[in-house]
Amino acid sequence: MVDLTTLVAVLVTLVAALGIAGQNLFVRKGTDGGRASDAVVVVIAVNVLVLLPSVAILYYPDYGLTPVSWLSFAAAGMVGTLLGRILSYTSIEKIGASRTAPIVAAWALVSTVFGVIFLDETLSPIHAVGIALVVAGIVVIAWETNHENPDGLSRRELSIGLLIPFAAAFAYGLEPIFAKFGFAEGTPAPVGLVVKTVAAILGLTLYLRLRNDLPGREVLRSNDMRWFVLAGLSNTLFLVGYYVALEIAPVSIVTPIIITNTLFVVVLSALFMPKHLERVTWKLAGAATAVVVGVGVITAFG
């Protein structure tokens, strides 16, 4: 019989999965007329505005930070929160949320490989089954995207569009490796979450400032702004739910459920998104399911 704590963790994780699915669709709506870089700025800013005050109050005065955890979570923020989101949102803008989400879900596979390389973790034969499912699903998605090509992109543009979510999966997969070094120092997960989020917004602001490309007031007044704010709130819901679930349940339970956001994206895209933004086919849905099952196998037997 499932104990109450595990049941609560499952429900919280499902809410988190819906949150990240909602974020992807809101970003897709916003980038239909706006820029992916503006979406990243607004979403991370919303994260900071919501999370920083609450964590600062709840954990005062001992935040459990050490020089190593500071650097670890800052690196996690630069790689995952900043680079990962830039790549992910750009991919959503170019090829759609329903195609981006399953490919980006391969971050769990990337994280597993990095764990073997850097953390002396091991791979078992059952991992091969999960890896095969993930790879097969991604191959079908790539083929389907290339075959459909509803926007009439050139082969070069389409190839670049398909490489971007792979790069995002690489960035997201590297983030937990840095975070593990921070957790090993005894820093609470919410505190680490705030450090990496603040590091990301500072890094992004500096980058855009150097390029003289910071969002102007017109972004605040645009119709796209509401979609970016909704994406930020959805992403914050995901972050809180994800970390709360990790505090009370094993990763082997939490991660497979989080990855179901891929299926939520596909289903919600088919039901609610305009056809010119999202083209969902049965092949795409089947491939997304294969990726989710594959990630579940990799994580559950990790």
Give pLDDT tens digits for 37-74: 889 999 999 999 999 999 999 999 889 999 999 999 99
Give pLDDT tens digits for 141-168: 766 666 665 556 666 776 777 789 889 9
Cα four-point dihedral sign 92, 141, 175, 188:
positive
- Domains of the chain, by residue range, sit at 4-300
Cα 187 from Cα 169, distance rounded (Å): 25
Burial 231-264 (b: 16+ CB within 10 A, else e): bbbbbbbbbbbbbbbbeebeeebbbbbbbbbbbb
The pLDDT value recorded for residue 162 is 78
Q: Tokens 């992916």 label which residue?
A: 36
Cα 231 from Cα 30, distance rounded (Å): 9
Instruction: Show Cβ contacts of residue 241 under 8 Å, excluding neighbours closer than 6 positions.
Output: 12, 13, 15, 16, 19
Confidence of residue 22 (pLDDT cuts 50, 70, 90): very high
Confidence of residue 195 (pLDDT cuts 50, 70, 90): very high
